Amino acid sequence: MITETNLDGIITYANKRFLEMTGYSEKEIIGMPHSINRHPDMPTSIFENMWKILKLKKIWRGYLKNMTKDGRYYWVLVWIQPKFDMQKNVIGYIASRKLPYRATVEKIERNYLSLPLKEREKTPYHYGKELSFGSDFIGSKHLDLTIDDRLESLVHESKNRISLKKMYFDDPLL
């Protein structure tokens, strides 16, 4: 499920799978703030932290409970990253999602969402943070480069070109 927004978080693109999951039509969702599908169980402090990370041109990764058009909810594991123009200016954001790990969702519901909302606002959310390790980080280390330039820069940083290329292209998270 993929969406794109402008700098203010207004949806400019939503793929078919996102539309099917949320119940919105493309006509309804384009031009709306992305918070349209924010579930009230998720405190604003999570999103304030997310925006802080994104404004630093970094990637945010985390578990979110979202709401469909008809009020039902669904969980996703989402990666949000800046989108750059040719001059390396941030011109928007891209979010990609996948189904979350059930055990992690159960842990979030048990240890975090069971807290009263006021307490959740003050409690650090360890299930959403800056992406700074792992294959997702390696593959997106130079977000403002084209995919070819990104791969080339990583190859130059690596002593083993063949294993890097294999890891880069075979990694299911990229």
Domains of the chain: 2-130 (3.30.450.20), 133-174 (no CATH)
Q: How far is CA 52 from the centre of its chain?
A: 13
pTM: 0.73
Degrees to nearest 5, angle at CA 100 with 168 and 50: 80
Dump pLDDT digits (tens) for 129-174: 776 544 444 444 445 555 455 555 555 544 444 444 434 444 333 3
pLDDT tier for residue 16 given thresholds of 50, 70 and 90: very high
By the 10 Å C-beta count (0-12 exposed, 13-18 middle, 19+ buried), 8 is classed as exposed
First to last CA, the chain: 14
SS3 label, residue 105: helix
